[in-house]
Amino acid sequence: MSPHCVIRRHGEALRDAVLAAAIAEIGENGVAGASMDRIARRAGTGKAALYRRWPNVRALALDAIATTLEGALPDDVIDTGSLRDDLISSMDLLTEQLRGSLGVVVRALISEAAHDTQVAVEFSERFGMRIQLAAVAQIQRAMVRGEVPAQVIDPYVMAVPAALVIHQLLFTGTVPSRPEIVHIVDTIVLPLFQQPSTASLLAGA
Predicted confidence pLDDT, tens digits, the chain (205 residues): 444 454 555 678 899 999 999 988 888 887 778 899 999 999 999 999 999 999 998 889 888 877 877 776 667 788 999 999 999 999 998 899 888 777 877 887 777 777 778 777 877 777 777 778 888 899 999 999 999 988 888 888 888 998 899 899 988 989 999 999 999 999 999 999 988 766 544 445 4
pTM for this one? 0.75
188 shares its domain with 116: yes
45 shares its domain with 14: yes
CB 50 within 8 A of CB 38: no
95 shares its domain with 48: no
Residue 28 belongs to what domain range? 1-55
Please state, in angstroms and rounded to a whole number, the distance separating the CA atoms of residues 42 and 163.
Answer: 33
Please state, in angstroms and rounded to a whole number, the distance separating the CA atoms of residues 20 and 105.
Answer: 12
Half-sphere exposure of 125 (CA within 13 A, CB side): 8
Which of 106, 113, 158 shows the shortest CA–CA distance to 131?
158
CATH number of the domain residue 182 falls in: 1.10.357.10
Check residue 2 and give its pLDDT: 47
158 shares its domain with 121: yes
Q: What is the DSSP letter of 100?
A: T
Structural domain contains residue 64: no
Q: How many domains does the chain have?
A: 2
Structural domain contains residue 184: yes
Check residue 199 and give its pLDDT: 57
CB 137 within 8 A of CB 77: yes
Distances (CA, A) of 132 to 89, 108, 112, 154: 15, 22, 23, 11
Cβ neighbours of 39 (radius 10 Å): 27
Q: Cα–chain-centroid distance for residue 42?
A: 24
43 shares its domain with 80: no
CATH number of the domain residue 41 falls in: 1.10.10.60
Structural domain contains residue 62: no
Q: What is the DSSP letter of 196?
A: P
106 shares its domain with 187: yes
Please state, in angstroms and rounded to a whole number, the distance separating the CA atoms of residues 61 and 116.
Answer: 14
Structural domain contains residue 65: no
Check residue 202 and give its pLDDT: 46
